[in-house]
A = this chain, B = another copy of it.
């Protein structure tokens, strides 16, 4: 069983060898640019892990892993246009480096290229994999739409927020594992258990993201802590706080969020103090634990040895306890 790190290395080697710039170069250079901007490569590696859980051979499905990574990067390119984001992974976003039209059209071709990578799968597994991928891609678009809709709403419920992050982030994590499993010949049931494992880990991962953005240690986190508070993002922490707060606390939180004259650091310190008073961090940890437990329950249903599952257990633990 190869570790996450070992599979990451073989994927990066595969990626390095892929020649992404075809003609017209104006269309494909942005594709090449975003694909080599770094990132954790979590999804493609999980796909390879899903494969090796069910197959001992060395025919790792790089094409499927690549399809997933290309799709993920397509979604980043278009999301950055919609969010008018200047930076991605600390570098200039595609629409800033080139222009908006290029970002739209290069993103489009990336989405189709993802399918082109999938198409090289053995015909035996291709229909199944196409269906999982397509269903997941639709859900990711829906998640992004909910995320945009929520920005305009002040009455977002916790259940809605959890559904949104499930669609926007977690289903692709689950599907990556599932598609790897399918390509290795796993049964539908087993592939689905693995999907559920990944999906639940993905939700917990995203909740941890919210926690780190507000409570992380700046040196370890790598980016400015408190960004979500400054931007008034309705994270799980804020939604929980609004649910739990008494009238006075609710008023205080709303005042802090709406006060345009407040200094950024003061705002962060005050909101964080309120969240601490309400013990929101502990509540969120309990919620994460629930998803974590559910993930491991699904993994337990898969009839493979503990040794075979070890790399998945390790990476799940790492993702949840990470401090950056």
Residues of chain A at the chain B interface (Cβ within 8 Å): 23-24, 26-27, 78, 81-82, 101, 104-105, 107-109, 111-113, 115-116, 118-119, 123, 126-127, 130-131, 134-135, 137-138, 141-142, 144-146, 148-149
Q: Identify A116's interface contact among B26, B138, B148, CB under 8 A.
A: B138
17 A-B residue pairs with CB within 8 Å: A24-B142, A24-B145, A26-B149, A78-B104, A81-B101, A81-B104, A82-B101, A104-B104, A105-B148, A109-B141, A111-B112, A112-B138, A112-B141, A116-B135, A116-B138, A119-B127, A130-B130
Residues of B near A138 (CB, < 8 A) are: 109, 112-113, 116
**A255 CB → nearest B CB, Å:** 30
**A232 CB → nearest B CB, Å:** 19
Measured in the bound complex, the distance between the Cα atoms of B149 and A127 in whole Å is 36
Residues of B near A135 (CB, < 8 A) are: 116
User: For residue A79, which residue of chain B has the nearest CB?
Assistant: B105
Residues of B near A113 (CB, < 8 A) are: 138
State the majority secondary structure of interface residues on A: helix
Contact A112/B134 with A27-B145, A145-B105, A149-B24 known, Cβ cut-off 8 Å: yes
Residues of B near A78 (CB, < 8 A) are: 104-105, 108
**A163 CB → nearest B CB, Å:** 10
**A278 CB → nearest B CB, Å:** 30
Q: Identify A105's interface contact among B105, B116, B137, B144, CB under 8 A.
A: B144
Residues of B near A104 (CB, < 8 A) are: 78, 81-82, 104
Measured in the bound complex, the distance between the Cα atoms of B105 and A82 in whole Å is 9
**A133 CB → nearest B CB, Å:** 8
**A258 CB → nearest B CB, Å:** 24
